[in-house]
Amino acid sequence: MKVVITSKSNSPESKMDLRFGRAPWFAVYNTESGDLDFVANEGAAENSGAGPKVAQLIANLGAVKVFSGDFGPKAKDALQSFGIEMVVLKDEPMIQTLIQQIK
């Protein structure tokens, strides 16, 4: 299964970004293969409506779960409509640390 983690940069040593729609990067981790890829968030600079656009991107990536610090109401609705589970974290773990916990 694929999980997505909002990320401050495109490195496993990066910290998770607490913002969903405005995170600059997404870490895409495949729990079956162990592959980790990073995808730039092209919606981060949107003036408005970033959340639903980013939710569509997450769905297109094939993710079933997304980790972030906050999800706006429109992003929540969009993610729920795609059947994607949202996990809210209040701290900013490193991407590699969070992946070790997910394994």
User: 65 with 84: CB under 8 angstroms?
Assistant: yes
Pairwise CA distance, residues 27 & 96, whole Å? 10
Q: What is the pLDDT along the chain (103 residues), one digit of tens a residue?
A: 999 999 999 999 999 999 999 999 999 999 999 999 999 998 777 777 788 899 999 999 999 999 999 899 999 999 999 999 999 999 999 999 999 999 8
Number of domains in the chain: 1
pLDDT on residue 13: 96
By C-alpha distance, which of 60, 79, 62 is closest to 71?
79
The pLDDT score that the predictor gives to residue 46 is 73
- CB 62: neighbour CB atoms within 10 A? 11
Quick one: pLDDT at residue 64? Answer: 97
> Any idea what the CATH number is for the domain that residue 6 is in?
3.30.420.130
Residue range(s) defining the domain that contains residue 81: 2-102
pLDDT at 74: 93
Contact criterion met (CB below 8 Å) for 56 and 4: no
